[in-house]
Amino acid sequence: MGKTVTEKILAAHLVEGSLTRGAEIGIRIDQTLTQDATGTMAYLEFEATGIPRVKTELSVCYVDHNLVQSDFRNADDHRFLQSMARRYGLYFSPPGNGISHQIHLERFGVPGKTLLGSDSHTPTGGGLGMIAIGAGGLDVAMAMAGKPFNLVMPKIYGIKLTNHLAPWVSARDVLLEVLRRLSVKGGVGYIMEYFGPGVATLSATDRASITNFGAELGATTSVFPSDANTLAFLESQGRVGDWTEIIADPDASYDEVMEIDLATLEPLIACPSSPDKVVPVREAAGKPVAQVLIGSCSNSSLRDLLVVAKTLESRPVSVDVSFEINPGSRQVLENLTAMGDMLTLVRAGARVHQAGCLGCIGMGQAPATGAISLRTFPRNFPGRSGTKDDQVYLCSPETAVAAAITGKITDPRELGEYPACTLPAKYLPGDQRIEPPLADGSGVAIIRGPNIAAFPEFTPLPETWEGTVLLKVGDNITTDHIMPAGAKILPLRSNIPAIAEFVFNSVDEGFVARARATNSGLVVGGDNYGQGSSREHAALAPRYLGVQVKLVKSFARIHKANLINFGILPLTFANPADYERVEQGAAVTLPDIRKAIARGAEEVEVRVGTFFFKARLEVSARHREILLAGGLLNWAKGKS
């Protein structure tokens, strides 16, 4: 039987296990990326391994999240990251240079390679035919140390594309359609692989928008073949030597298949406050809009901003709209300026910001109270924008610019003829500020500001665990709920004692005080617990507060891995009905839990008050060793 693109790349990188669905495998990681919000902790973790230099083919340290320097902390962290990159052999991309995923696509992504990133939108690289996976910072630190990345071999969901997109419909609408069909948890346990004749109609940056936004499905990653369009993109970047053709065999087989006729798609929009609340734009049309943001790692390529500029050539922005542009990279800025289209944006009334994540991570650009904000971002979780009870809609650049012009949600097809956009055959590289690795960084001193705190040490689970239900929550709890982002909290990412003060702050302001009072607690949750960002702080900070158990109906992939990495027991209800019987404040006992973990028990006994029930512990043998050791770092040190 023929192989899919996924199977070909994984087979070439397999170092542990076999490509059997549901079995744990270990793969060699060629490249890593970090961003500053997660990177500070990842490098402290790498430093703790004692390894003198990264062992990957290529690793890049990006600064793109914590760009607002309201005090010394972000600036200090940036210097720390630069010194870490120099010391340990990484490329360094400084603040203002751009978003990690956009730059990596432009300057470093290589078809057929594996990429592990401490950001959930790392699958952007799948647009070039990479297996690019988001993970917690500790997993990335281990990859930089030369260790394999372990995961459960996913099923492969084939998405067959036919025909081509109509005018005013773009790649963004493709993934909005997939989200409409599958929901934010529909991709859990899968790699999404795109195939079919419609693939040839999509450029590399179109594909990257789809694979990036595919993170919202809960999928392990998403991938396209590497073909003539991939080659054309790498040629435009002056990197033709990096191209390799990687296509699925004609008789390749997928575990599930979905077919999308691109010609039938229309402009779509995700309503507040979840990426899968998708409707046609025409059904939401007419609502007044106060803010329009175009950018983020999903839609900040030159193509995306060029179509916006061309649409605005003869049209001003409504005086009722704050219209803002977040370019994806310095390369995008340089080329847009050289082509003359930056002037169009400025004259039309755009506020053009530095290249970076900005409002997508709650770093400024919060909308007004009660106002609608249209964004080309990948997430609209409640309050993520920085405004409580926000009304954030997610859409394509075409739909966004239509709203900016009219001052209301508008089907962009009403604007008339679709603008002609011609991309340059050769891009200005825009990489002058990227600092390459030193040949020998052993003499470089690490610069540590006062906000850098030592990595905490954790003790293993006791023989019998006893604790209190500190919090009970419902379905689709995101890592934003657990560990909020924003300009106030993000600067604390390198200081676990300080950032731990904000755990579950938006859900229950009394959580931290209760956790400190007990120092031995658990959290109870519903389905898809921990969806969203890869931020390991959503596991690390609760662990610092004494949380050693999470008991839920189901977990999101990255969060479950992060829990294990920090020695938190990830249990699921064997009978989901038992969720109703566990109340906040209840005393819980896990009798002989260490023995149960050690003997490989897939179900463990949970005692709540006077009743007992079973919970499932669905982890690998390797994970059991990590849990018994109290976390991945403890386990790795024991192996050395």
Active site residue ranges: 64-65, 119, 379, 533, 535
Structure-token pair, residue 551: 């008991």
How far are the Cα atoms of 101, 155, 326 from residue 357, in angstroms, in the given order? 10, 31, 7
Separation CA 48–CA 37 (nearest Å)? 19
Contact between 576 and 555 under an 8 Å Cβ cutoff? The reply is: no
Q: What is the dihedral of CA 396, 402, 406, 409, to 10 degrees?
A: -30
Q: Of 371, 419, 378, give the one whose Cα is nearest residue 396.
A: 378
- Sort 215 into a burial class: Cβ within 10 Å, 0-12 / 13-18 / 19+: buried
**Residue linked to tokens 């790349």:** 9
- Answer whether 168's CB lies under 8 Å from 132's CB: no
The amino acid that residue 393 corresponds to is Y
Distance CA 530, CA 526 (A): 10
Vertex 65: Cα angle to 63 and 69 (nearest 5): 85
CA 623 from centroid of its chain's CA atoms: 23
- DSSP one-letter code for 298: T
Are the C-beta atoms of residues 16 and 150 closer than 8 Å to each other?
yes
Before 273, cis peptide (omega within 30)? yes
**Three-class SS state of 571:** strand
Given a contact cutoff of 8 angstroms between Cβ atoms, the answer to whether 575 and 614 are in contact is yes
The alpha carbon dihedral of 65, 71, 75, 77 has a sign of: negative
Residue 70, φ and ψ in degrees, nearest 5: -80, -20
Q: Which has the closest alpha carbon to 185: 153, 155, 136, 219?
A: 219
- Yes or no: say if 429 and 333 are a contact pair by the CB < 8 Å rule: no
Q: For residue 573, which of 627, 617, 528 has the smallest C-alpha distance?
A: 617
354 torsion bin: left (phi>0), alpha (psi -120 to 50), beta (else):
beta
CB 601 within 8 A of CB 591: no
- Which pair of tokens denotes residue 279? 């409707």
Q: State the CB neighbour count (10 A cutoff) for residue 220.
A: 26
Whole-angstrom distance, CA of residue 263 vs CA of residue 76: 50
The token duo for 172 is: 């963004």
Provide the pairing of β-strand 58-62 with 190-195.
unpaired
Outline where DSSP puts E strands in 334-490.
Answer: 351-352, 372-375, 391-394, 465-472
CB 160 within 8 A of CB 262: no
**Rounded CA Rg of the chain:** 24
